[in-house]
Amino acid sequence: MLKGISPLLSPQLLKILCEMGHSDTLVIADGNFPAETMGKNAIVLRMDGHGVPELLEAILKVFPLDQYTDKPVSLMERVPGDNVDVSVWKTYEEMIAKEDTRGASLIRKLERFEFYEEAKKAYAIIATSETRQYANVILQKGCVLS
């Protein structure tokens, strides 16, 4: 255990986050996301028993969002006609605003297959047990400024 570091950030996850460089992306995927299929060229880390919001909150405390791009956070847009509750997006907005002064303006929504294409380029995918649909998020890493 480390002081000031969430116990959700396992040694393996901390190693992945440290290895990532500027502009690398990280997917935090819900339980329905095809993590192994999308992550054929990425590190896939299983974090069963955890949800996306709790991991996002812990990761945002140590993970700088890219300051050189307008939208370093991506969400999967609902498929037209899909009437699924996406109130979790509001939770994400609040978490991001707490850690980055640019707030919700950092978020973009991608069409489902566009999101998949971006996920295929990720450095790592965290597969969670999140049961809510459209709870996936992609984070683009920035630089730690001195």
For the domain that residue 130 is a member of, what is the CATH number?
3.40.1650.10
Q: For residue 45, is it within any domain? A: yes
Q: For residue 1, is it within any domain? A: no
Token pair of 106 as six digits: 């950092």
66, 92, 123, 134: which one is catalytic? 66
Cα dihedral across residues 9, 91, 130, 32: positive or negative? negative
Q: For residue 146, is it within any domain? A: no
If one counts the domains in the chain, the total is: 1
| pLDDT higher than 80, residue 82 | yes
The one-letter amino acid at 95: M
How confident is the model at residue 42, as a pLDDT?
98
22, 68, 82, 85: which one is catalytic? 22
Active site residue 22: yes
Cα dihedral across residues 54, 57, 61, 62: positive or negative? positive
Q: For residue 29, is it within any domain? A: yes
Work out the percent of the chain whose per-residue pLDDT is above 70: 100
What integer best gives the mean pLDDT of the chain? 97
CB 97 within 8 A of CB 104: yes
48, 50, 100, 116: which one is catalytic? 116
CB 91 within 8 A of CB 124: no
Q: For residue 31, is it within any domain? A: yes
pLDDT digits (tens, 9 = 90+) for 23-70: 999 999 999 999 999 999 999 999 999 999 999 999 999 999 999 999
Band the pLDDT of 21: cuts 50, 70, 90.
Answer: very high
- In 3D, which of 60, 77, 76, 73 has the Cα closest to residue 8? 60
How confident is the model at residue 146, as a pLDDT?
76
Q: For residue 3, is it within any domain? A: no
Q: For residue 8, is it within any domain? A: no
Once rounded to an integer, what is the mean pLDDT over residues 70-88? 96
Which helix H or strand E contains 140, and what residues bound it?
strand 137-140
| pLDDT higher than 80, residue 6 | yes
Q: For residue 5, is it within any domain? A: no
What is the extent of the structural domain holding 101?
Answer: 15-78+85-140
CB 41 within 8 A of CB 124: no
